[in-house]
Structure 1
Amino acid sequence: MSKKAILGHVFHAPVKGEFEHLVNACIEFDELGKISQVVTPDQHDYQSIVQKHQEQNTLTTLSDSQYLFPGLVDLHTHAPQWPQSGKGLDLPLFDWLNQYTFPLESKYKDADFRERFYPELVDTLIAHGTTTAMYFATIDNAASEYLAKVCKQKGQRALIGKVSMDEKSMCPDYYVEKSTEIALSDAEAFIQNIIAIDDKNGLVHPVVTPRFVPTCSTELLAGLGKLVQHYQCHVQTHASESDWARDFSHEKYQKTDVEIYHETQLLTRRTVLAHSIFLSESDKHTIKEVGAGIAHCPLSNMYFADAAFPLREAIDQDLHVGLGSDLSGGPIPSIFHACLDAVSHSRVREAGTNTHLMQNRGEPNTRVSFVEAFWMATHGGGLTLDLPIGVFQPGYLFDAIVVDTNAKHSQVRVYSDLDSPRDILEKIIVHTTEPAISSVWVNGNKVK
């Protein structure tokens, strides 16, 4: 099996809270995109490996202005909401959904409409360095399967969920499943069709996707749980995103969202719970026990949650946690920006905002570092999804991006006499925009 290699300055975060900067490292990967070895100049076989790939014309060599990073992982994004990004963010969540989101999502049943926006969305996320995205699609099977085909064609690793929502009292009459039975039948057909779309490459994965507790009957949740157990597929949903969502579950079921998902077999090692702001200690214990994960969406939380996710505690308790853009509740399609937002969110939480208090304004010792945010955007995201991505180590898949500080319109400025490796990492996180990301690989294939 022929192999390729890339040589240059490498940043990654194999250990939570730490990072590695490897100078002139050579990363070798096979035809399936699996990393076979990572060698550095101090290793005895380094020169022979580099020379072999040079002679075989299988070596990509980066310049001193280019930095190799693991591909970014977006654990929570709403694909059909891309056209409304940046609109209506001053509204409460319920009004925003009904005035903007549900009318827009219902349009994707039209083939011309979905063909207009889904390719543009996937191109945009790839251009921003998102090599793996976990997508909420719509309730329409054909539209959701089309999104999977677009992701496969463009080479993005994608976990895609046809949304399930059958509770007619909580959904508009034009955008709701016809019945619980049809919802379950459609969900199973979607799983089977996604498996058929990409049965060899492992790029696209089906995801069981109950929108959230208020829009789903208990019969639907239980039925979806049985599908999850049968197909062993991923699950994504919203959990305890706001006071309203938390109170809804308590008032209607006298349970938390996590308890409901656990009882209906929807909480597994491959479950990603978006937001999860109002978790009880019992909820956290259950999440950790089953190995489920959390998608932290700091920017959309600022707009719609009216509360701050306790990220510091989640990290310290060793919960699986990564980052989500939450398009379009979070209007910026960049996981680097989500890193900055996560750090900023934690700093505001720690400092507090009430100027009428002379002391004890915030919650002490709750800040998160840029290195921790970078870990969540890469390795932490891969761990949350239970996929071998997010770090440059043998056995992992070569998903990577190149940040070029000399690229046209790059906003990243690095000064070798002033900036340490940590300085460079933090600058790249803060200042990288689309033009600075010169190349993107997924599964060892160059997709940008």
Structure 2
Amino acid sequence: MMEYRYVFRGTAFTSESPKEVKILKDYLFCINRNGLIEKMIHPDDNEYELVLHTYQWKDNFRQLSDGQYLLPGFIDLHIHAPQWAQSGTALDLPLNEWLNTYTFPLESKFSNIDFAKQVYEDLVSTLLAHGTTTALYYATVHKESSFLLASICAEKGQRGLVGKVVMDDHKQNPEYYRDPDTASALADTEEFILAVQDLAKKTKQGVYPVVTPRFIPSCTDEALRGLSALATKYNTYIQSHCSESDWEHEFAKTRFHKHDAFALHDFGLLREKSIMAHCTFLSEADVDLFAKTGTAIAHCPISNAYLSGGVLPIAHFHSKGVEIGLGTDISGGFSPSLFDNAKQAVISSRMLEDGVNPNLPTEKRGKPASRITINEAFYFATAGGGESLSLPIGRIMENYTWDVQIIDTQIPGAKLPIFSSRNQDLYDVFQKIMYHTRPENIREVWVQGVNVHVRA
């Protein structure tokens, strides 16, 4: 029998498909030294009693307590890390005014390494405590503090994908916060890529550099072409915003006489390792282009309610073959929790299907076939995010990473409304976890087989 680094015994929930949750009741989960799930053993398997007998008295065996369950770690596909410092405030203006009034002044402060360290350490710790094991980050234009964020992810054990933001257009960006010029923006990005790739060699769970043009309004044509070339040269991920709001969507149409999606594609920025945030105003042709190029969408339902001016038709876009995951979009979204964003994804989809104007007749009020279930929202927060990044994460299954949350439904003061866990239908337990979990219920978080968070 193979020697395992850890063996866990308990009940887990994972996505079998976008609409189906698989319940793994009383399984043994055997984790190897690389932090991968080497073997999952059903209670009826012949090997079950042998492995249980071998490991149950060892220090590396974990028996989940009654009322505890395993979920895959969450994957957040869109976070503005510096904006954690203003999260929960400044959501009273349209996007373009919000950026210039609140956000760019804040982000400019991240030239100060000490300030950046304070914010970034708190953010990464907070996200881990909320069950987020993988995060796709925008940093700022500052190369040094952007690398600091990647280093903090590596140190704290979170799988971090980090981008040094490019904002080189002097006409569109404030003088106090932008890249000095296109050449330095590209040179700093290349140095950042090399530094993070070197850091990754020493990081078990992985850290990744991400080519990050903030969005079309912030970048010159030369920068967009140069960033595409760098992504090709170093085989990196790419992230940006696409058709987030009326303002951004119309800006691209005015500048290029085409939608964001086709403009970005013409610069070579839509591809298999591209993740575009929001995408609320995509046309059918844009969606087809995303599906064709393998570009994923980071759906940020809380943020969209504040700054986008629309509801992403997530069910329709996914039905056309577009990969989709969830994002918090801190601080356009106030909450660091993907539990909150999963719930909001369901709520927004229901409002899109049912409509919101009671003065219209029922048959004209909404958009049919738009709703998603909590099963689908769970999928987007986990497996969908993993598929968007083309990494073996987001599922509890063999050959995937041991990225998990241990949810305790019996915490005093945060007890979920489960009154007989042994008799209650386990699918009902799953739903209650998705709708009622608070940070207090997330007792432990593991990334790549390493315990990175324990709540006292």
2:333 and 2:365 mapped to 1: Cα distance?
26
Residue 21 of structure 2, aligned match among 12, 19, 22: 19
TM-score w.r.t. the length of structure 1 is: 0.98
Residue in 1 that maps onto 2:394: 390
Shift of 1:32: 1.1
Matches within 5 A, 1:124-273: 124-200=126-202, 201-273=204-276
Q: CA deviation at 1:55?
A: 4.4
**2:290 alignment counterpart:** 287
* C-alpha displacement of 1:2: 4.4
Equivalent position SS for 1:325? coil
1:308 corresponding residue in structure 2 = 311
Corresponding residue of 2:448: 443
Take 2:194 and 2:402, find their aligned partners in 1: how far apart are those partners? 27
Give the one of 349, 353, 364 matched to 2:352: 349
Kept in 2: contact 1:407–1:438 (CA 8 A): no
The answer as to 2:434 corresponding to 1:429 is yes
Deviates more, 1:234-243 or 1:200-209: 200-209
The aligned counterpart of 1:62 is 64
1:328 to 331, 334, 346: 331
SS in 2 for 1:249: helix
Any stretches of 5+ residues in structure 1 without a counterpart?
Answer: none
Report the secondary structure of 2:382's partner residue: helix
Secondary structure, counterpart of 1:416 in structure 2: coil
Cα 1:411–1:218, aligned 2, differ >3 Å: closer, same or farther? farther
The one-letter code sitting in structure 2 at the alignment partner of 1:278 is F
Over the aligned positions, Cα root-mean-square deviation in angstroms equals: 1.3
Once the two structures are TM-superposed, the CA of residue 421 in structure 1 deviates from its matched residue by 2.1
Quote the offset at 1:430 in angstroms.
1.1
**Following TM superposition, by how much is the alpha carbon of 1:358 offset from its aligned partner in structure 2, in angstroms?**
2.9
Q: Secondary structure at the match of 2:79?
A: strand
Aligned residue for 2:38, secondary structure, equals strand
Match of 1:401?
405
Residue identity in the other structure for 2:291: K
Instruction: Give me the whole-angstrom Cα distance separating, in 2, the residues matched to 1:153 and 1:274.
Output: 27
CA distance in 2, matches of 1:255, 1:341: 31
Match runs of 1:13-92 below 5 Å: 13-92=15-94
Do the aligned residues in 1 keep the contact of 2:383 with 2:393 (CA within 8 Å)? Answer: yes
Cα contact 1:228–1:265 (8 A) shared by 2: no
* TM-fit CA distance, 1:202: 4.6
Deviation at 1:56, TM superposition (A): 3.9
Runs ≥4 residues deviating over 4 A: none
Q: Tell me the CA shift for residue 151 of structure 1.
A: 0.8
Match in the other structure for 2:122: 120
Q: Report how many residues are paired.
A: 448
Runs (5+) with no aligned partner, structure 2: none
Residue equivalent to 1:368: 372
- How has the CA–CA distance of structure 1 residues 27 and 184 changed in structure 2, closer, same or farther, with 3 Å as cutoff? same
TM-score by length of 2: 0.96
Residues 206-226 of structure 1, C-alpha deviation per residue, up to 9 Å, x if partnerless? Answer: 000000001011110000000
Tell me the equivalent position of 1:103.
105
SS of the counterpart of 1:123? Answer: helix
Of stretches 68-77 and 3-12 in structure 1, the one that deviates more from structure 2 is 3-12
Q: Is the 8 A contact 1:14 1:379 kept in 2?
A: no
Would you say the 8 A contact 1:408–1:435 is kept in 2? no
Distance in 2 between residues matched to 1:2 and 1:373, nearest whole Å = 33
Mapped to 2, the partners of 1:390 and 1:22 lie a distance apart of: 15
Q: Secondary structure at the match of 2:93?
A: coil
Residue number among 337, 340, 343 corresponding to 2:340 in the alignment: 337
Alignment partner, residue 425 of structure 2: 420
Q: Deviations over 1:142-181 (max 9, x none)?
A: 0001111111111011100000111111111000110001
| TM-aligned CA deviation for residue 422 of structure 1 | 2.2
The code of the aligned residue for 1:404 comes to: D
Q: Tell me, yes or no, if the aligned pair for 2:4 and 2:30 is still in contact at 8 Å.
A: no
Pick which of 417-426 and 225-234 moved more: 417-426
Is this contact kept in 1: 2:157–2:205, CA < 8 A?
A: no
How far off its partner does 1:411 sit?
4.6
- Cα offset, 1:112, TM superposition: 1.6
**Secondary structure of 1:197's aligned partner:** helix
**Residues 275-284 or 144-153, more deviating:** 275-284
* Residue identity opposite 2:401 in structure 1: L
Task: Quote the Cα distance in structure 2 between the aligned partners of 1:419 and 1:345.
Answer: 29
